[in-house]
Each structure stands twice: as C-alpha cells, then as structure tokens.
Structure 1
Amino acid sequence: MTTAAPPTEASASTPAAEELRAWLRLAHARGLRPLALRLLLAAFGGPCEVLTKSFASLAQVAGPGAAEAVLGPPAEIEGTPFGRYIEGALAWAAEPGNRILTLADSDYPQALLNMPDPPALLYAKGRLERLQARAVAIVGSRHATPQGLEDARRFAHALSGAGLAVISGLALGIDAAAHRGALGSAAGTVAVIGTGADLVYPAAHRGLAHEIARDGAILSEWPLGTPARSANFPQRNRLIAGLSGGVLIVEAAMRSGSLITARLANEMGRDVFALPGSIHAPLAQGCHRLIKQGAKLVETPEEILEEFGFPTPATAAASRSTAPQPVSASWASARLPSESQPGEQTARVLAALGHAPATLEILAARTQFDGAALQGMLLQLEMSGHVAPLPGGRYMAVGRP
C-alpha cells in the first residue's frame, strides 16, 4: 500500500475527522458484526458515543462479544498499526475523488439500506451520484465466449443509455464487458470490488478502473490495502446484489460465482434475469438452471427495461440483432446476393449452423459442401446479415429468415 501523507493539523482536530475516526474504529473492529453495530448506534446515537460507553451498557444492547470488540485493543489492518491506518485512511479520503461513506452520510447508497446488514462504512472513488441511481447488475463468467462478451456489452450500453446504472465486479470476462458497454452512457457504471479501494484486481484492468473512476464509481467495503482473497468475493457479490434492482446473468457455468450473486439478489427480493444459450454450451448451463428455478428468460435489453417500467422504442426489438455490420474496403465491391433471403443451399448452411458457433470444418461435415462452396455461401449469409464471423475461424447465426 502506498504510504499516505500525514494528516494536516486541521484534519486531525476537526469534529468531523474525530467522528470519522470513530466510524473507522468501529467498522473495522474485529468481531463486531454490522447488525450489532447498528444496534449500538441506534441505542447510543453515534460512533463517538458508542466508544464512551461501559462494557455493561454495550453488552446489554448487543451482547458481550460486541462489547469486547468495541472496547478491546484495535488490531492491525493488513499489517499496519491501527492508529497509522486511520491516519492513512483520512489522508486517502482527502484526495480528490475519494470518499469514506458511513451510514450517517447522505451520499451512502440508499439501495444498500434495504439490506439486513449494510456495511457501516464504504470506500468510494468517482462520481457519487452514480451510487443513488436505479441500477441493474450484469455479471457472468470470467472465461466468457466472444458472443457472451458482446451480449454483456450490448445489454449494458442499452440499459445504461436508458437510465439504469450498470453494476458489476471488475472481474475478467462478462464483468469487464458490462463496464465497458456502460461507460459514457447516461447512467454510467459502478464497480464493486473485493479488494481495498486503493488497489486494482486484476492488474490488467488498471486502465478500465481509471475510466470507471472518472465516468462512474468504484466501491469497496474492505480496508485500504486489502489484497484479492477468494473469501472476499462472495461478500462483494452481496453488495452487487444489494445495489441493484435486478441482476442479469449473461453466461455462467454450474458452479459460477455469478450464481451466488443471483441467489443473494433473489433473497433480497431483487429480480433475476438470465440469457439462454445452447444446451451444448457449458456456460449456458448455469443460466438454464436459474431459468428453471424462476429467473426471467430475456433476449433483449428492452425486456429488462419493461420490467423496470422504462418506456422502450417500438422499433428497438425489430432492429436489435439485424444491424448492419461494418464492411471493410476489401469487401466494398463484392457482389451482393440477388435476394435478401437465403437460397436453398445457403438456408441449408444456416440450418446446419444452428444456435451455437461452429467452425468451417464442422459446417463442412454437417452439410457435405466442399470448402470453397461453403465459404462462398457463408460470405453471402454474412453480407445479408444472417451470419457473423467470430475469432478462431468460427461463425455464428445472428438472424433467421
């Protein structure tokens, strides 16, 4: 963790700084559960008052374990003595764009207050107004397919553009695609992370994190300097669910962490949406399981917007998957097919392609066409908007006659 500058004399002595020190002391007191802290705050009025009470008074309200946590010696945080950590945290919060939000702050996300155990304290970077917007979470596999990444980006762009902030976890795969799709749109994006707010995980997303901090917000309940630990991410998922009015699962295997987010959202009374996929695709199995359990099957962003009560353009659904693909200069003089609908042979190729991406070799085996003829028909289907090429020499159907 970067060593923070020492606090100024003013910041060290103001009542607001003293109250924030008390919040930090209680929020990071080892063994003090959020519910117990809320009971103490309700009983005694504020964090400074809680710290002045006797063991007996504290134990009467929240139990002896909570009293011991409040009055016991503060533990180190990530190897840093507690007093030095507090001064470093205050210095971090004084930097432009950084805030430490407590339950008493008006900028604390209102959606989290509906949780049974909202964090007493949050570390935030970026535009705090993003934390108050109506929001939908988009999560899924770290090892997403090209189609899954495109779906996450497209849904995020449409939903954020319509006014729903997009919440995700800054992970590889679907999370990153969702954040990128929402950047620059009306409602923006919020990244809820499983490390300290002064760290970026994975490191490859450092640039993305800077973009989110500029256009959206980054949120963490973990102390500064907390590294990535597997045990932190289920708790991170709880905040993703809590901030959102609904959760969309784009791709998920049967044991995906995204299913934890979906379960937590369901327990909090949030809507759960899932994109269907091929029955042969491992990353569709988790989504299909959710749909069997009652998640809402969605195929377009407009369906989610309707669930949230947003008006949708009448033409949006008709144009969602048939938008023309960019054509490079080398294809500009290619001869277009004489008809917009596939002919008998190209329709045969389209039927062989089915609903899952396939390679040229697979299609040749299914259709018995030779390579040259098959490539010509795939080009016709691509030019007419029925097929799109994918990385790795695969093709995917994007429209149906």
Structure 2
Amino acid sequence: MRVGMVCPYTWEVPGGVMAHVRDLSEALIADGHHVSVIAPAADDAPLPYYVTSAGRAVPVPYNGSVARLAFGFLSAGRVRKWLREGRFDVLHVHEPAVPSVGLLACWAARGPIVATFHASYQRSRAVSVTAPVLHTALEKITGRIAVSDAARKTLVEHLGGDAVLIPNGVTVSRYAEAEPLPGWGPDGGVIGFLGRMDEPRKGLPILLEAFTLLAPERPGLRLLVAGPGDAADALGRLPAALRDRVGVLGMVSEEDKTRAYHSVDVFCAPNTHGESFGIVLAEAMAAGATVLASDIPAFRRVLGEGQAGALFTTGDAASLAREAAALLDDPERRAKLADEARVAVRRYDWSTVARDVVRVYETVTATAGGGVEEEQQARGGPRRHAKHPAGAGEGARSDRREAP
C-alpha cells in the first residue's frame, strides 16, 4: 500500500507526534508498505529518505506549548506537489485541526483520508474560533483514530464525530538494552527527567522543587535532565549548593536518550496537563526503568493505575518527593514495577499498533473506489486513480473498536 503521511510539527525538534509519525512510518516500511512523509523542516535539515520538507517551521503558541508549524503559500505548494507525485492509496494526516501541513493536506486532497488525533485539552480558543474553517477540511476525513480516551473525548467535544482508539506505539526492542551514560548509572540515587525544560506543563519546576526537599538528607542523590531548553534558567531554580548534583544533557540523540533511561533509578514524568498518552512513559517502560509519574488520566491509564509505575499527586512537589524517597529506599519494589512495566508496554509495540492502523487503511480504501487525488484535479480535470495492491480491503473491519 502507498501511504502519504503528514506530520504537522517540525521534524527538527523531538516531540511525541513527530516520534509517532517516524516510528509508524518505519514500522509500515518494514512490513513492505511504501511510505512518504511530509513535515515542516528547513531545506538543509538532515532528513530520512522518506521525509519531504514542507518548508521551515515557525514557532506558534498552541495548547499550552510552543508548536513549530508550517502554514502558507510555500507549504501549500509543496503539499500539492507531494500529493501529485505520491499517487497514494491513502493519506494519513496527524492532528488535522492544527494550523499546519496536515490542514493544508486535507484541503488539497480528496479520497481515502485517515486522521490521527493526539491532543487532549479542556478548551481551545483557537479551535473554537476556526471551527467553521476547519470543518471544510475535516469533513473530508473518512477514517479517524484517537491515541487515547482523552484525545477521543477532545475530538468528540470540540470537533464532533468519533474515532477508533489505537494507542501510541513504541519500538520496544530499541530501548530494551543500552549502556548507562558515562558517569551515571543506577546506584540507588539517580532521578531522571526527559522533556522540554522551558515548557511549564512538562513539570520540571515541580521536580526541581521536590529535589530541593530530598537532597539535603540524601547527599548521594543526583538528578539527570535531558531535553531542549535553557539549562541556566533551569538550574537557577535550585539553591547554589545543589546545582553540581544535576546533570543537564540538553537535546539528546535517540541513542543517548535510550542510554539516559538506563542511567537512572527512577524516571520521573511530572507533567501537569495536556498529555493524551505519554510516549516518554512507554519508552522508559520499554527500557525497564522504574517510572514515577503525575496522576493525570493519561498517565494513570498507561501505568495501569499504578501497577506498572508509581503515581504522585499532580503539581504537588511534596507528594513527588515522598513517592520518590519511598522508591529509592525500596529496590525490591523498583524491580517489581520495572518487571510489570516491561510486560505492560508490549501492548504498545509498533508490531501490534501498526497492524491496527493498517486495518483502518484497508477499511477506508475498500469503500473509496480510488486513490488520493489532488482536490483541484478531482473537481475539474481528469480523474487519476492510484493502483491498489491485490487484496486491499480484504479483512477490513469497522474502525469502531477498542485498542487491543
């Protein structure tokens, strides 16, 4: 099957949606499908062979974060060219309501279109204001996927319609084995964090506050922080006497990220809101790390209500400190939680998740009667159909199903 995949966020900055698109694309390619991805990126950015640049991204405040998006005449032209040349059987757009490449692709195409909704939020002024404009694009979507109950609820309440629930995926084998980073390693006193340091909803300030509560009575306690942001600003939140006990890696490669998960005794995800799944949790679980996370609904679900990782009260540094201390003092409990995590994360392995996504592709292509077309050509010019592989649509089933 020929799949056109659209990522709304820049390929140059790590993020949950970008990682989802990358790993799903590579899982589909490994299964024999032809996949082409279009995403915002600088023209000179080093991109995988299957990624096409839609133009340089621009930082825009969105959903409590700063999203790097591409939207304009240049990007629209590149999207149309990519669609014409791709001859896709199905177009898969991620976050089509975000004002970026995905929305442009929905406007520019017609035919079998699948959309994956990742975001979770209570209310969005941007979505409310632009709802009439969004409708002209979203009405073209023929199959909808939500990565979590929270994302599904957001879709139903803000945009209308329903979706099949297929969770985020993680390449479990990628994280299973790795050497710790030099100078680090589980020794009963290392807490880890991975996320944007300058994004409040990722919760680093809460973890730093908890660290100041724990550190005075634990002289061997250290904190390992990875992710983009201003390290000086982050360390400035700590008393001067504690700063040399914090290692700040900044933005890390995939290899070093995996090594970081293997370098800590407790991996902490102190996020406060806006998470519909929590890919860092799944990655840490695959690495066999002991996870401590805020008790937001998405994290509770991934951790099995505390069976595969410990939980603390969201936004409460004292609660985080208490739970972290209990884990650090109990190696047997850490080992038990890590074992449970390794088992629980298997349901999110891409070998399982990608097959569920393909079933949605088969459903929409079986009823479409043709491939993806450029909208202008479909309305006024000769119709062009992509060639379908033999058996497309066989075994297709309703996309109203729960995750395995």
Could you say which TM-score interval applies, normalised by the shorter chain? 0.3 to 0.5
Q: Which has the larger radius of gyration?
A: 1
* Larger RCO (CA under 8 A, 6+ residues apart): 2
TM-score (norm 2): 0.32
Relative to the length of structure 1, the TM-score reads 0.32
Structure with the higher strand share, 1 or 2: 2
